[in-house]
Amino acid sequence: MTIEAAQLSPPSRPNRKRRIRTAGAVFLPLLMATLTVQALEVNIDPHADLLYRQALPLLEQADIQDDSASPLRTAHGDPELSRQGQAMARTLPTAVALLKKSVALGHPVAQYRLALYYTTYLPAGQIADAACPLLEASLSQGFAPPALAIAHWCSPYNASPAYREALAAIPSMATLYAAYYPQPASHLACSRSRPQGLEMQWGRQRDYQAEVYRLLGELDPSQRQVLWRKAVDINGCVAARQRLTSHR
């Protein structure tokens, strides 16, 4: 029985809801069996991790400075914004240099943060070539946040079976990456808030897990409603809830 079948010709409204819940209960174990994959073998180099963590406070400083109306781009005539812009111009290159060194050693989280820097500051026409190899390498190691940027920037990979398989592997890697959250993103579709300008949205691990189920639902029409319900169950995912409502 599918969810669509459960919704046909319901004898009464209460029974309709009960049958939908039953369908979800039947499908969820099947869904989990489909998505369950062997945990990836990922070994994070200790020196790469040290370099990444050295970059973090510099990235945080740059984020704080960048929140002040994008000082690098709007500092004309304002001494305070000019000062902040100059400070960020000093901070970011150092952080990026550390990230690049960490990336050279294969650090998946550094790969994501360097790619996020590229998606934020490079011209749109240069982003895919610079960021997508990093995003795909990070996702292939089971790190969830790159999934969102890949969905936006990295065609045709974002419609490929390899992308879906990488998404399906993410739940098995939760323990390895738990200490690396929260993480920023340009936009979290499951969140009610909306970023302004270059402002980043920060998500917990469960927020990115919800985003993964939302994306899987978009890629798999046969399991779409169950996957979107899973996203809603995790963090109340706004985008998935809206899609469930529109597909009734």
Domain hosting 53: range is 45-157
Q: Which is more confident, 108 or 71?
A: 108
The three-state secondary structure class of 202 is: strand
Q: What is the pLDDT of residue 28?
A: 44
Which residues have C-beta within 8 Å of that of residue 6, sequence separation ≥ 6?
A: 16, 19, 20, 22, 23
122 and 63 within one domain: yes
151 and 85 in a common domain: yes
Q: What is the pLDDT of residues 16-37, one digit of tens each?
A: 444 434 444 444 444 444 445 5
> Is pLDDT of 164 > 90?
yes
Q: Which 3 state secondary structure label does DSSP give 9?
A: coil
Q: What is the DSSP string of 53-102?
A: HHHHHHHHHHHHHHTTT-HHHH-TT-HHHHHHHHHHHHHHHHHHHHHHHH
Q: Are 100 and 8 found together in one domain? A: no
Residue 146 belongs to some domain of the structure: yes
Q: Tens digits of per-residue pLDDT, 38-97?
A: 678 999 999 999 999 999 999 998 877 665 544 444 444 555 444 444 555 678 999 999
Residue 215 lies in a domain: no
Nearest to 243 by CA among 186, 234, 221: 221
| pTM score, whole prediction | 0.78
CB 213 within 8 A of CB 234: yes
Same domain, residue pair 14 and 53: no
